[in-house]
Structure formats: C-alpha cells, structure tokens
Amino acid sequence: MLQPLRDLIADNADKLTGVDTRLLEVLSDDPVRAAMENGREVSARAGVHPASAVRLAKRLGFGGYPEFKAFLRDSLIRGGEDFADPSARMAARLTKSQGEGLLAAAIESEVNALRQLGETLSDDDIREVARVLRSARRIFVFARGHGAALAQLMTLRLTRSGYDAVDLADAGILLPERLAQMTQDDVLCLFSFRQPRRQTEDLMAEAAEMGARTIAITDLGGGRLTVKPDLHLSASRGGAGEVQSLTVPMTIVNAIILHLAAIDEGQSMRALQRYAAVKKRFGS
C-alpha cells in the first residue's frame, strides 16, 4: 500500500532542514502541480537552490527527484476512485500518460474499459433490460452531467425504434408535469456516474411510489445507490487516472437497442423504415 507523504515526513523529521520545510509547504499547497513539475521547477517556486528538491527527495528515502515525483504522481492517481476536483482528475490523467502520446493513452484506456465491460456484463443481463423496456407503456430516461448526452441519445434511439420515450434530463421546469404522467406500466431508466445525485435517488423513490420499474446504468462509483433499482447494469468506465469512458455506457445503450430489435417482433424495424421515409420526404 502506498505510504502517505505525511507519514514519510514524520518518519524522517529529524533529517529535514528549514529549506526542506519550505519545499514541503510548496508541494502541499498544490499537490496537483507538484506531481507535474521537476525538481528544478519546484525549487524555483520555493525560492531555494535548484538542487534542494533533490536533497529533500533523498532525505525522504528516494534515489532522486524523479523517483519522488513518481511517488507524488502515484499518490494523486491512487487518491481514490472518485476525484472531487475536476482539475485533479485531469492532472492524474496527464501524469499517468507521461511518456506516451495522449491519444494513444486515451485509446488504451477506452479499450481496457470496453474489455472489462465484456467480462462484467452478459447478453442475458442486457436482454433482461430489453424485455422490461419492451413491455413498458412509456420509458422515462434521466441523467445529469455527462450522462445527460447519453440520456438524450437513448431517448432518440428508442423513439426512432417506435417506443414512447421521454427525456427527463431535458424537462427543466416541466419535470413535475412529466413525472405526474408516470404510471405503474412505465419504466424509469437512469444513468448515474461518479456518485449518486440526490435528484437521481428522489426520482427512483418517486417511480417506486408510482409502481413503475426502475433501471440503473452506472459506473462503479455511481452504483452506490441507497434506493435499489429493479435492474442494475454496472461497469467500470476506467480506473483512477484514466479517461472516464462514455463509450462504455454508450455501448450498453447500443446493445439494449439491438436486443429490443431482436425481441419486439419487427416493431423496431417498421418504425425505423417509417422514420427513414419521413426523413427523406422532408429532405433532412
């Protein structure tokens, strides 16, 4: 397990000088920046000799400043699955991809996340969700943040496939009016990433009170729901310090739409043909 910096400092307190203390203050004030800079840059910000950061690293038990910097970087990356500060999340990704092309690092992260998805969920999991959606009178879709784009995509795909779908993420002040239309024959499908939002769980509770079924599509952090959904598809979107993939939940949505087309006795195909004809007629 990675030893916290404060413990390293405590273990070596008798070796540290006033210059070391000044450097540690600079590092502690901005740990994100510290994980990105070299020893000379950190020393300059502290107003001390350029070699001072190297000396500090050695007093703390490292072979040199690059090794100490790697420790700081790993501390940032392993600081938790969910970073509260978006700048810290971005810095973690940048530090983890050092020495690689950023595009290559992003592609590798996406590929790894998709590979894990294939090991986490099965066709049976997706098919069960499709069966519930198939039998619904109306499908309400909801998300916040980055998930809102996926909610919009899912609503669009369902509508084109002939299903009555409503995007609650786009409802705004009309949200109460939309919810008032929900019945026990409906389904609430929601996305939750990083950590559950209060509004997400309020909507799940409302749906449960109405007797509607709920489906949650989440990453590992967003899956910590206090209100239990009827069906839950949860998969990692990437580890700490990696790009948090939107491709993973989008792939889940695409798989759901395909499974619907496979079980709805031609409804999706007929609706798509009708949509294509109307689109052609209006020249769009």
In a domain, 49, yes or no: yes
Confidence (pLDDT) at 81: 40
Query: In DSSP terms, which residues pair with 191 in a beta bridge?
Result: 217
Confidence (pLDDT) at 97: 61
The enclosing domain of 165 has a CATH number of: 3.40.50.10490
CA distance 279 to 160: 11
Verify that 120 and 23 share a domain, yes or no.
Answer: no
* Chosen domain end from 33, 62, 79: 79
Verify that 136 and 269 share a domain, yes or no.
Answer: yes
In a domain, 188, yes or no: yes
Number of domains forming the structure of the chain: 2
Verify that 122 and 253 share a domain, yes or no.
Answer: yes
Confidence (pLDDT) at 84: 45
Query: In DSSP terms, which residues pair with 187 in a beta bridge?
Result: 139, 213
Residues of the chain whose pLDDT is less than 50? 80-84
The enclosing domain of 66 has a CATH number of: 1.10.10.10
Verify that 56 and 159 share a domain, yes or no.
Answer: no
Residue range(s) defining the domain that contains residue 137: 114-281
Confidence (pLDDT) at 272: 95
Confidence (pLDDT) at 105: 76
In a domain, 100, yes or no: no
Q: What is the pLDDT of residues 71-93, one digit of tens each?
A: 877 776 665 443 345 555 566 66
